[in-house]
């Protein structure tokens, strides 16, 4: 039974990693083939690093992810604090219902519906090409907001309401009571929400595809237009680099987590 379960999990992981292994191996291929290995070379990495459009797209993607995650975190945290104050009311339940819409709707419908809004506004204001950085940013903030709110709200619920009141009784103004007492308590939720918003934005293709124009291209959009033609291994090289950097980040994060847990254990011990 034990060996059987080991084989089973191994097979699942082989399935999950087969295409990734393939693209890493063929990113070092000497020819353009993605089927036959004809020799080891780093030429695709050189071509990739010399390619302006791809690097520009990486830069665009990062800028967009930073802007949308910061704005959605601020908006979403403020919203959560307000929503939490409304107990059971029609207002609260309708706001929460609206918040769930982008999470439940298929991404293609979210993308299409926002595109229709932007196109309509563009026509009304007679703007030639309305789709660009601004529309992608609005779209990314919109689909990130629910995730921020749904990570911050539970933290707010867990915080003891009396703490903020105690701070105010001790002479804090409501605003500084918030910054000194409530904000530190909900910080883990805010950070988790922001990380989620950041990664969602980095990775999004479908919604960006419908809300972007030729003027501002993110990495997934560039990858998409490349896979429309025959993919050359330079795309594989790029993916291998992305994979490597995510792997390193995750390993570092894990080490940090294990270390902080050890610290807590030592303190307790």
Partner 1 sequence: MRRSGTGAKLISVPYVVWAALFIIAPLFFVVYYSFTNAAGQFTLDNIHLLTKYIPTFLRSIWFGIVATLICLLIAFPTAYIISQKSDKIQRTMILLVMLPMWMSFLIRTYSWMAILQDTGLINSFLVKIGIDPVHMINTGGAVILGMVYNFLPYMIMPIYSVMAKLDFSMVEAAQDLGSNRINVIRRCIIPMSIPGVISGITMVFVPSVSTFYISQKLGGGSFDLIGDVIERQFQQSYNYNLGASLSLVLMILILLSMAVMNHFSDEGEMVI
Cβ 215 to partner 1, closest distance in Å?
A: 16
The residues in 150-169 that bind partner 1, with binding defined as CB under 8 A, are 161, 164-165, 168
Query: Is residue 189 part of the contact set for partner 1 (CB under 8 A)?
Result: no
Shortest Å, Cβ 46 to partner 1: 19
Alpha-carbon distance 77 to 189, whole Å?
9
Toward partner 1, which CB reaches closer, 112 or 185? 112
Minimum CB separation from partner 1 for residue 43, in Å?
18
Rounded Cα gap, residues 38 and 88, in angstroms: 66
Give the x/- contact pattern for partner 1 in 30-49, rule: CB under 8 A: ----xxx-------------
Kindly state whether residue 63 participates in binding partner 1, applying the rule CB under 8 A.
no
Report if residue 105 touches partner 1, rule: CB under 8 A: yes
77, 190 contact by CB (below 8 A): yes
Does 210 bind partner 1 (CB under 8 A)? Our answer is: yes
Q: Is 131 in the site for partner 1 (CB under 8 A)?
A: no
Do residues 65 and 198 touch, judged by C-beta distance below 8 A?
A: yes
| Among the listed residues 47, 62, 112, 163, the single contact to partner 1 using CB under 8 A | 112
Please pick, from the candidates 145, 186, 194, 197, the single residue that binds partner 1 as defined by CB under 8 A: 145
The answer to whether 55 contacts partner 1 (rule: CB under 8 A) is no
* Out of 68, 73, 142, 144, the residue judged to bind partner 1 by CB under 8 A: 142
Nearest to 99 by CA among 146, 151, 152: 146
* CA–CA gap between residue 156 and residue 80 (Å, rounded): 8
> Could you tell me which of 80, 63, 70, 59 has the C-alpha nearest to residue 195?
70
Number of residues that bind partner 1 (CB under 8 A): 81
Calculate the CA 152 to chain-centre distance. Answer: 16
Write out the binding residues for partner 1, residues 227-256 only, by CB under 8 A: 227, 231, 235-236, 239, 242-243, 246-247, 250, 254
d(C-alpha 44, C-alpha 56), whole Å: 17
54, 73, 99, 212: which one binds partner 1 (CB under 8 A): 99
Task: Give the Cα separation of 203 and 148 in Å (integer).
Answer: 17
- Cβ within 8 Å of residue 136, ≥6 positions away: 64, 208, 211, 212, 216, 218
């Amino acid at each position: 039974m034990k060996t059987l379960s080991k084989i089973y999990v191994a097979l699942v992981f082989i399935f999950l990693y087969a295409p990734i292994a393939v693209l890493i191996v063929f990113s070092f291929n000497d020819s353009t083939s993605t089927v036959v290995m004809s020799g080891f070379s780093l030429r695709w990495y050189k071509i990739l690093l010399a390619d302006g459009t791809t690097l520009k797209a990486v830069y665009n993607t990062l800028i967009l992810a930073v802007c949308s995650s910061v704005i959605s975190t601020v908006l979403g945290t403020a919203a959560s604090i307000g929503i939490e104050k409304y107990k059971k009311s029609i207002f609260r339940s309708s706001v929460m219902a609206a918040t769930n819409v982008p999470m439940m709707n298929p991404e293609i419908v979210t993308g299409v519906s926002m595109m229709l809004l932007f196109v309509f506004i563009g026509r009304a204001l007679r703007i030639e090409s309305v789709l660009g950085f601004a529309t992608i940013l609005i779209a990314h903030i919109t689909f990130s907001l629910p995730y921020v709110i749904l990570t911050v709200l539970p933290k707010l619920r867990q915080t003891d309401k009396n703490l903020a009141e105690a701070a105010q009784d001790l002479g804090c103004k409501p605003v500084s009571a918030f910054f000194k007492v409530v904000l530190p308590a909900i910080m883990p939720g805010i950070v988790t929400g922001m990380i989620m918003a950041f990664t969602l934005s980095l990775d999004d293709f479908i919604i960006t595809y419908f809300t972007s124009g030729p003027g501002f291209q993110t990495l997934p959009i560039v990858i998409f237009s490349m896979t429309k033609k025959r993919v050359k291994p330079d795309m594989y090289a790029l993916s291998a680099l992305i994979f490597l950097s995510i792997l390193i980040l995750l390993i570092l994060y894990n080490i940090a987590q294990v270390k902080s847990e050890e610290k807590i254990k030592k303190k307790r011990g």
